[in-house]
């Protein structure tokens, strides 16, 4: 009976940790900090402000370099950053654009290079 009580306690502790994203996102999820958020907002300001046109950042530019440095093209880093926005920041910055940084800054072959036909 004691092993089952230990197992139940373990599950309870794991559930508490998994429910609270600041404690660890189940040990496998993405964690982000306010410093990460500030880096993204500062370096990608021209691409994220609602008052600016919706244009993707250059993949070789500073914004995408910071996104890749924070491993924002993997996992849910950009969703995590978007969740940290304050009410005032949500009025200034476009949440959808923040989440799109993951795909905008991914390094991969462009579809145009694959579609070229040699004559």
Confidence (pTM): 0.66
SS3 label, residue 21: helix
DSSP tag of 49:
B
Find, among 93, 32, 19, the residue nearest to 67 by Cα: 32
Q: Per-residue pLDDT tens for 57-73? A: 999 999 999 999 988 76
Q: Per-residue pLDDT tens for 11-48? A: 666 555 555 444 444 455 668 899 999 999 999 999 99
């Amino acid at each position: 009976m004691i092993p089952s009580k230990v197992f139940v306690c373990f599950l309870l502790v794991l559930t508490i940790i998994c429910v609270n994203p600041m404690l660890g996102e189940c040990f496998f999820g993405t964690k982000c900090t306010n410093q990460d958020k500030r880096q993204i907002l500062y370096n990608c300001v021209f691409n994220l402000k609602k008052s600016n046109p919706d244009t993707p950042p250059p993949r070789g530019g500073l914004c995408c370099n910071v996104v890749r440095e924070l491993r924002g093209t993997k996992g849910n880093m950009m969703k995590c950053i978007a969740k940290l926005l304050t009410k005032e920041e949500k009025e200034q910055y476009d949440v959808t654009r923040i989440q799109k940084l993951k795909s905008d800054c991914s390094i991969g072959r462009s579809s145009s290079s694959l579609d070229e036909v040699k004559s």
